[in-house]
Amino acid sequence: MPAVRVAYFVQSHRSPRQVERLLGALRRGSPDALLVVGHCPAGEPLNTAVLDELGALHFTHRQRCHRGYWSLLEPYFDAVELLSRQPGDYEWLVYLSGQDYPIRPLAELEAMLTSTEYDGFLTWRPMDALSPEGRRRQGRIRYLYRYFELPGWERLLRFVRPFNRLQNAFNVHLTYGPRLGIRKRYPGAASGHYPFIGSQWTTLRRHCAEKLLASARSRDEVVAHFERTVCPDEAFAQTVLINDGSFRLCNDNLRFADFQGSRDGHPRTLTRADCPALVAASYYFARKFDLDVDAAALDWLDAHLAAP
């Protein structure tokens, strides 16, 4: 069976040297893959000569991406649109951050994608399920309120925040900026569709990625709802694809991240000491790596991937 063509989209906002190194690893691992990188306009720019040498499509995000906001999803939709205008075809789109890195040969990943019965690999759980950090209310707080930004009101909102647990008509959320949420019925509830939540990072067949693009561009009431939620990047894809019901999905996004003990949503930075255990596991990618913290980790992985 001939291998399918895979596209890899890297969404980045910092450390051009590390992003370029990741793209280089992807190109070495998959010479025929489509490579796309979208970089934040607020970050140090990427070296376009390096990107052109790697044959990587590239664009700058239309606006600065803010964690916890809809803007963090927009580069993905732009990447899917960009890929649709390219000559040649692709079957799968792998969504990566600039701090991901392959930990198994890409040929193994692409062979698995060629033969799998699934249409997508992503993580999900019902909105009301216990979060990995042990918080059951997190899903309701994020996705059942319509949030409004209130810059300059943080001091007042801190005073009001203790009332969050005494009522559910409104919710003060300060993690990603001062916001006040007003309780709003999820627009899909009448038809039995509810939010699902999981990781932003996915591996999807092209028709799944284009389904997300079409949904986002439709500007329907579900999109309008998610635009005002907290962390829509961790729920929009799951909610659209699972509620559609026509896709075969695997509850596994094929990558490793260590959130143990995290209270801010950032995974632990991986080091050279983690690498042997990573490559012995069943994951294809891991994050996060940081060249400024431990460049030896990426050196070790490059040597491992290059070995016969």
Tokens at 269, concatenated = 């930075």
CA distance 290 to 307: 23
Which of 270, 286, 117, 279 shows the shortest CA–CA distance to 199? 286
Question: Do 36 and 166 reside in the same domain of the chain?
Answer: no
Task: Establish if 65 belongs to a structural domain.
Answer: yes
Determine, yes or no, domain membership for 133: no
Domain count, the chain: 2
Kind of pairing between the strands at 170-173 and 145-149: unpaired
In one-letter notation, the amino acid at residue 173 is H
The pLDDT of residue 264 is: 65
pLDDT, position 135: 67
What pLDDT, on a 0 to 100 scale, did the predictor assign at position 134? 64
Does 28 map to a domain? yes
- Are 270 and 261 in contact by the 8 Å Cβ rule? The answer is no
In 3D, which of 248, 271, 246, 244 has the Cα closest to residue 258?
271
Structure confidence at residue 187 (pLDDT): 86
In the numeric block, the tokens 């329907």 are attached to 220
* pLDDT at residue 133 in the model: 62
Can you give the pTM of this predicted structure?
A: 0.94
Q: Is residue 88 part of a domain?
A: yes
- Residue 227 belongs to domain spanning: 6-126+193-306
- Same domain flag for 213 and 281: yes
Q: Does residue 90 share a domain with residue 27?
A: yes
Within a domain: residue 14?
Answer: yes
Judgement on whether residues 233 and 89 belong to the same structural domain of the protein:
yes
- Say how many Å lie between the first and final Cα of the chain, rounded: 23
Report the CATH number that the domain containing residue 225 is assigned in CATH: 3.90.550.10
Domain shared by 119 and 268, yes or no: yes
Same domain, 202 and 92: yes
Question: 10-residue block means of pLDDT along the chain (308 residues)?
Answer: 84 94 97 95 93 96 92 96 89 97 96 97 90 74 95 94 94 94 87 88 97 92 93 96 96 92 77 95 95 95 92
* Statement to judge: residues 206 and 104 lie in one domain: yes
